[in-house]
A and B are shown apart, each in its own frame.
Chain A
């Protein structure tokens, strides 16, 4: 029987069958796992949970709009070398001193299995995923400046997150195992809350969930609150010693749930029955 580690979530990270099937498929097939879903549904946390469960070292690569695929492999610090050539010390003829491995380069060159998180890949340039195809397939790259070839001894487990956006090229998608994180239903959310706030008063948990889901289902919100906001909100309520919340009154610490001025206005109009939030 083939043996590979089955992912079942961790104490702090709850999963469901669909997510486990995706993670285990990715682990077994050695393909990148592409995770998509609304912001705040725990896409990034999943990578941490997998790293914890394997266990393996987690290497994060937070993609920004200016990130290039090459940066993930290595950066050749020419400026430093130029500087050293005039004023510095050390051996400037040794190019290796000026090659700095990026997150993906580190993951590939590590002797052991690592978990590589490529976070928010959709933020980068449109061509970015295509530029990564070869390295993701082969787990191999060459440092052109020195001619060094680096091949992974153990393929890193790659987790790629992307927001709810239709952005990624087909060739890239075909190589990934895909998982779409649903927004948790109430039952699941209750468990999530219990994990993050153990020993929370049952009544308060019920009320906050009630308020949260009603707020989420309200039409006309620009940014609907998500899991992380609920967790934060409960943390604030606990700190402030609030024992009960009700949606028909003014909600305490509304700012942790609704982050846009228009949303606060919409909330005031519909539920709080007044315009006290409107200036």
Chain B
């Protein structure tokens, strides 16, 4: 059952691996959980969960697995040890994890554990049992330590399952919508540095080297400072079907604007599809020809398109119409043109992937790598943008 819990966590994208399982086995052997389900909940949470966005999936899985079940501590320990010994399990491990497992003396853990259980038997009545149902753990700590004041979850008041059920961390799930600061942080990963420009920074190592070679006469060596070297073009679909996402779009916009780690950021707007031109303002004035933009911006610019990619098929595949001056190519041709020119480009879609199938979204997805406009999707998109610098 406990192993099911771990696999359930993994299914919910909480990356629990052997390292965590081993640590938990050690913690249980040391008796950190004070033989209560509540204590177990907190110890397991601190060891298995590594970021606040995983707290909620953890709570959900915990409540599902430990509700209304009387669990014997010994059983969980035994199960965990059994799992760690399982040779099939070892195949799935990374080298790092295997080395870790070999370093761990399972028998030692087991011995410690049994010692603990014996001690508890002596100390409390039937003390090796966890009561999972009512959440009234019989092993409440009375907070006898004079230095500490026990507060919050007073023993027996709020069971571990109740705590888990409260799902207090729902707001931190990362697969939900994002706020500006989070976007900014995600965007921060989109950066690279290079040394160029005038020689104005003191190169200390170089100076020492040259001075030494110069027989101790000081010779100063300078070099260009390290500067950010990422250039980004952001194109956003506005109006029509994008209206419901206006807030998300404006958050992305302000986060991009505030990002100071780029050498250059260009923001353009379009409606549904880029066609031959994009617009520097939301009022669709002063069009910038795509051909001019491409001539101006080298392939090293990172292109980010944001839109629901949803339009009438003729808008994408048929003759150009809206805001079009070059009567030559269909919308899809312009998108292909952009994709061909820039080494790295992505399309961010505010709609969830579940509705992508069977529309113009699919066509566009075949042109640009498409990601959902959530924190996770944005991180993946940025990983795509940063991936190598070679032409695809």
Contacts and interface: CB of A to CB of B under 8 A. Distances in A.
Interface stretch (A17-25, A56-64, A239-247): A17-25
Interface residues of A, number: 49
A2 B30 CA distance: 7
A178 B46 contact: yes
A14 B53 contact: no
Interface in A63-90: 78-79, 82, 85-86
A164 interface: yes
Contacts, number: 125
A2 B185 CA distance: 42
Contacts of B32: 21, 24-25, 28
B208 A82 contact: yes
B139 to A, nearest CB: 13
Contacts of B151: 14-16, 187-188, 191
Q: What is the interface of chain B mostly: helix, strand, loop, or mixed?
A: helix
B152 A79 contact: no
Contacts of B51: 36, 166, 168, 173, 178
B201 to A, nearest CB: 13
B45 A78 contact: no
Nearest to A176: B50
A196 B38 CA distance: 29
Contacts of A26: 46
A9 B23 contact: no
Q: What is the interface of chain A mostly: helix, strand, loop, or mixed?
A: mixed
A21 to B, nearest CB: 3
Contacts of A28: 26-27, 30, 32
Interface of A: 1-2, 4, 6, 8-11, 14-18, 20-22, 24-26, 28-29, 31, 34, 36, 53, 78-79, 82, 85-86, 126, 164-168, 170, 173-180, 182, 187-188, 191
Give the top 8 A-B pairs by smallest Cβ distance, nearest first. A8-B148, A16-B152, A21-B42, A173-B50, A22-B46, A9-B148, A8-B145, A180-B52
18 contacts: A1-B116, A8-B147, A9-B147, A10-B148, A14-B151, A16-B152, A21-B46, A24-B32, A25-B32, A29-B26, A165-B182, A166-B375, A166-B379, A170-B50, A174-B17, A175-B19, A187-B151, A191-B151
Given A79-B204, A177-B47, 10 more contacts: A8-B147, A8-B148, A16-B151, A18-B152, A21-B43, A29-B26, A82-B208, A85-B216, A166-B182, A179-B46
